[in-house]
């Protein structure tokens, strides 16, 4: 009887091993890279409002909502140059300072999107390599990861102050090199055309989410493999397609 039970245990162990191997082989991607602001964190309105408030403080041209939202995802200085192109060169440094003043005064209250935490934890538990590629600076991202408790779930991160800003492919190329994952096994998730264009430039697939900074029609023009409204849809899409 003992021999039979031991034999059954071995068979069950082999079955479990085969099942795990089959799940791994069925995975379409090994690495999933998330943008942060407007994708994982619901910060679009606060970022746009902080840009506008900074411009008002310095008596500069205040960009409209569409313009202020469009630059989200770029590095901060690049974003401000696009949002306020007529500002004198010497005003960009104080503009950065005023932007940070307004953003940081609200930073602690910015939530993650509904189901973002649960989705990322589920992906991490399923064995995916996870990363962040963001227009934030290093201090800003580190603070966000610490304050939300999400830092432990990401294997690599890149910020716009440490490499090229989106849509340059450097963030994705560096993450893939660090984690030793090929482009065809990598997926980018983002809410802006900057994210999707970066993915195109790096030769990786991309999924767009419509709950962030850029409108759906602009995202659709860049032909992501899926365009989803929120993390509830994204979580289900992962279970079937990733």
To the nearest 10 degrees (0 to 180), the angle between helices 92-104 and 44-57 is 130
CA-to-CA distance for 213 and 190, rounded, in angstroms? 10
* Biggest distance spanned by C-alpha atoms of the chain: 86
Sheet holding 129-134, edge to edge: 156-159, 129-134, 31-34, 186-190, 205-209, 226-228
**Quick one: tokens of 109?**
């209250």
Q: Is 37 a catalytic residue?
A: yes
35 in catalytic set: yes
Check 35, 191, 195, 205 and give the catalytic one.
Answer: 35
**172: number of Cβ within 10 Å:** 26
CA distance 7 to 10: 5
Handedness of CA 24, 28, 33, 37 (dihedral sign): negative
Alpha-carbon span 197 to 176, nearest angstrom: 17
Cβ neighbours of residue 147 closer than 8 Å, sequence gap 6 or more: 107, 108
Q: Which 8-state DSSP code applies to residue 164? A: P
Distance, CA of 152 to chain centre: 15
Identified catalytic residue from 30, 37, 191, 195: 37
Which sequence positions are flagged as catalytic?
A: 35, 37
């Amino acid at each position: 009887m003992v021999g039979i039970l031991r034999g059954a245990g071995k068979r069950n162990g082999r079955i479990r091993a085969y099942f795990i191997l089959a799940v791994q082989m069925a995975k379409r991607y090994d690495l999933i890279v998330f943008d942060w602001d407007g994708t994982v964190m619901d910060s679009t309105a606060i970022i746009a409002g902080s840009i506008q408030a900074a411009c008002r403080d310095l008596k500069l041209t205040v960009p409209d909502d569409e313009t202020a939202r469009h630059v989200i995802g770029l590095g901060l200085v690049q974003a401000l140059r696009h949002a306020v192109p007529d500002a004198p060169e010497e005003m960009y440094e104080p503009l950065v300072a005023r932007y940070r003043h307004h953003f940081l005064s609200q930073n602690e209250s910015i939530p993650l999107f509904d189901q973002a935490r649960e989705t990322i934890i589920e992906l991490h538990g399923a064995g995916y390599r996870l990363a962040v590629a963001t227009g934030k600076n290093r201090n800003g991202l580190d603070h966000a990861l610490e304050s939300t408790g999400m830092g432990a779930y990401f294997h690599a991160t890149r910020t716009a102050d440490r490499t090229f800003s989106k849509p340059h492919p450097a963030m994705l190329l560096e993450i893939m090199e660090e984690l030793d994952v090929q482009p065809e096994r990598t997926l980018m998730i983002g809410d802006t055309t900057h994210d999707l264009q970066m993915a195109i430039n790096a030769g990786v697939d991309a999924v767009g989410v419509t709950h962030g900074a850029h409108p759906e029609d602009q995202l659709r023009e860049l032909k992501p493999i899926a365009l989803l409204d929120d993390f509830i849809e994204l979580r289900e899409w992962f279970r079937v397609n990733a």
